Structure 1
Amino acid sequence: MKRLDDMRGFACLMVVAFHAVGSEPTLRGSLVGSAIQLLGYVRMPLFIAITGFIYGYRRDAQVLSWEGWTKRTSRLVPPFVLLTLVCSAIDWEAGRSATPIRSLFYGMWHLWYLQALAVVLIVVYAGERAFHPGRRGLWLAALVAAAISAGGLFGTVQILSIDRSFYLLPHFLFGVVLGYHGREGLAWPMRLAIYVAGVVALAFAAAGIQSGTPWAGSSLIGVAIGWATVLSLSRHMPSYGLLTGIGRFSLPIFLWHLPLAAVLSAVLLHRVHLAVYVAVLLRVVVGIVTPMVAVLLAERYAPGAIIFIGRRSPVDRSPVDGARAEATPA
């Protein structure tokens, strides 16, 4: 499972870097800002595709059930509620309207992802109960989800982050397809088609960001880039100790990096005027290291507190299948 942890670590770095750079107005129109903006097409898609891959790899032995859905989502409720209160307090202190009750239903800051993940899993559960598709059916489901996302069918349904869940659903299902194919992988014509579509979409997205045209944010472009990135990393991601280590703490890093960066900026960076790139680097380091240290301390001194920091599912921690754990995911 090292490759998946490396992919998680890479996704973590992209998320933390995206928010660190995005919090600096002077960088938004720069080359670095434009490059970071392109990461928006692969940050969260990569996270959720990894979850889909693990599910697809185990699907024959363990199809998602209602009990499985509740187990997967219940571990997200404590940190979601706690972080909603923390983020609301930060907004209130900064003079912004803080409505924690409304945020529990709509997801504030980056917490929309937890809601969207829960909705994606319940859609998958319903699909499994109704159809239990095979390989072709999974491909069809992924393509239908991509069409729904591109058409914006649920684009205005913001409660429980349903709009964003259907943005992520094609990537989750693509991860399921890759995991279900397992060692066999995708046929080379299919891989080539996905890569070509991704490169073309990336060129359109980069041109659109520079020119400010609205189609740069098209969901269809996002699907093409996301699928090509997930496929490429699943086949060619090298193993680095640093990324592997970060990947093992991916959930607490994702949950806490943004509030930590906000507190750091308020307490230190706004009072000590550091160079912009030093401030960005400091946000990245604090956002990654602090949650890792918090988990290690909690494991040793207060194991019960881990559920509020962020605990990865036992399914995600264990090898996919002993002898096949290091198999190429695509």
Structure 2
Amino acid sequence: MSQHRHQGVDTLRGLACLLLVALHTIGEAPEHGLRVADDHPLAVFAALFFHLRMPLFAMLSGFVYGYRPVEPGQRLAFLGGKLGRLGLPYLFAATAFLAVNIVLGGPHALPLTGINEAYLLPYAQFWFLQALFLIFLILAMADTLFPRAPFAVAAALFIVSAIAFLSPFGRGIEWLSFDRMLYLLPFFAFGLALNRMRPAVPRTLIAVLLGGALILMTLYALDVFADPHRDIPRRTAIALALGTVLGGSLLVVTLRFDPLARIGRFSFTIFLYHLFVVEALQWLYASAGRPPAYVGLAMGVTAGIVCPIVFHLVVLRLGHWPARIALGLDARARRETPATVPWPGKNTGSEATASRLAKP
């Protein structure tokens, strides 16, 4: 495990993993997961944090990218590295997940004539990786065109993507999760902008984020309690505002909680493989006569976190190529995830050292 990590980022990664696994265990609708009604406390809990889960993942991705951006003349090398880091595990995990669902008749099975949809359209949780790679394509262009204005690039990208987020542009375009890329892009750009604020995030912005998070979360919670049966759309003004202020607030206060940070170090593997375990447990849960939903939640979240971590550690011991294909990692480097470095403005070494430590 790398010794050069940002425990605050790992803590938030762990939190995002817990929320994601809990959502898939509970189910996004009464016919999924634990089969609880929309007004059940667990379903209400899942709805309350709907606008935090994926925006937080995207914001953390943008924040970490800020430490190792594409460099002039290295655009193809950067994108090739991202293909290896994201593309190989995507192909392996999505193919394995699809095969398991086809053989066992799972909820994510596709007809043999339509298996290409698992690679070209949003499929299970894997759509996030498609969308993230499209975002890296955009950043590879923007950062190499304007290498002397990194903060301006991040700020402009946030403004433009926020306008696109609220507009009709791209809605319904599912190829390579383009619509969902537009959903994630403002949060990625905001995390990148927070990283590039030097020497530190202004206190005024911190106060605005914290105050906005409190007010908006209160109003949103009242709305959810008033009508827990309604659908929750992604690309709305409240979704943009909540995702930005909630994720931004968590990031600027730099929470540190070691148990969550330990989970967060395996966040990519948990993201890729938790649904294998969750769906298997849901079958066992139904076979056992559906015990209390809270028991099912505890089982699903525990197994959905622990099993991917065990898988990660086992695969690393199998050698270089299994780790590259299943995890997107170089086992010879002996590290669990790419290293991250402390928040801008907190001196732990020279800029050159920080840049070197942050390179994948």
TM range (shorter): 0.7 to 0.9
What letter matches 1:86 in structure 2?
Answer: A
Superposition pairs of residues 3-22 of structure 1, within 5 angstroms: 3-22=8-27
- State the Cα distance separating 1:181 from its structure 2 match: 1.3
The reply on whether 1:127 has 2:125 as its aligned counterpart is: no
Higher mean C-alpha displacement, 298-307 vs 253-262: 298-307
Which residue number in structure 2 is paired with residue 328 of structure 1? none
What letter matches 1:114 in structure 2?
Answer: L
Instruction: Indicate how the Cα distance of structure 1 residues 118 and 137 shifts in structure 2: closer, same or farther if over 3 A, else same.
Output: closer
Equivalents in 2 of 1:307, 1:100: separation in Å? 24
- State the Cα distance separating 1:61 from its structure 2 match: 7.1
Instruction: Indicate how the Cα distance of structure 1 residues 303 and 283 shifts in structure 2: closer, same or farther if over 3 A, else same.
Output: farther
Kept in 1: contact 2:265–2:337 (CA 8 A): no
The reply on whether 1:36 has 2:46 as its aligned counterpart is: yes
Identity across matched positions, percent: 24
Which residue number in structure 2 is paired with residue 276 of structure 1? 293
Kept in 2: contact 1:84–1:100 (CA 8 A): no
Equivalents in 2 of 1:170, 1:58: separation in Å? 19
TM-score, normalization by structure 2? 0.80
Equivalents in 1 of 2:322, 2:106: separation in Å? 30
Equivalents in 2 of 1:221, 1:199: separation in Å? 13
Instruction: Indicate how the Cα distance of structure 1 residues 264 and 215 shifts in structure 2: closer, same or farther if over 3 A, else same.
Output: closer
Superposition pairs of residues 158-307 of structure 1, within 5 angstroms: 158-182=174-198, 184-209=199-224, 210-211=226-227, 217-266=234-283, 268-273=284-289, 274-307=291-324
Equivalents in 1 of 2:321, 2:234: separation in Å? 41
- State the Cα distance separating 1:310 from its structure 2 match: 2.1
Equivalents in 2 of 1:47, 1:179: separation in Å? 15
The reply on whether 1:320 has 2:341 as its aligned counterpart is: yes
Instruction: Indicate how the Cα distance of structure 1 residues 213 and 51 shifts in structure 2: closer, same or farther if over 3 A, else same.
Output: same
Which of 28, 36, 42 does residue 26 from structure 1 map onto? 36
Q: Give the gaps of 5 or more residues in structure 1.
A: 326-330
Residues 47-69 of structure 1: per-residue CA shift (max 9 Å, x gap):
12112112223449789723112
Kept in 2: contact 1:138–1:177 (CA 8 A): yes
Total equivalences in the alignment:
323
* C-alpha RMSD of the superposition: 2.7
The reply on whether 1:114 has 2:134 as its aligned counterpart is: no
Kept in 2: contact 1:85–1:100 (CA 8 A): no
Equivalents in 1 of 2:222, 2:36: separation in Å? 21
What letter matches 2:88 in structure 1?
Answer: P
The reply on whether 1:80 has 2:96 as its aligned counterpart is: no
TM-score, normalization by structure 1? 0.87
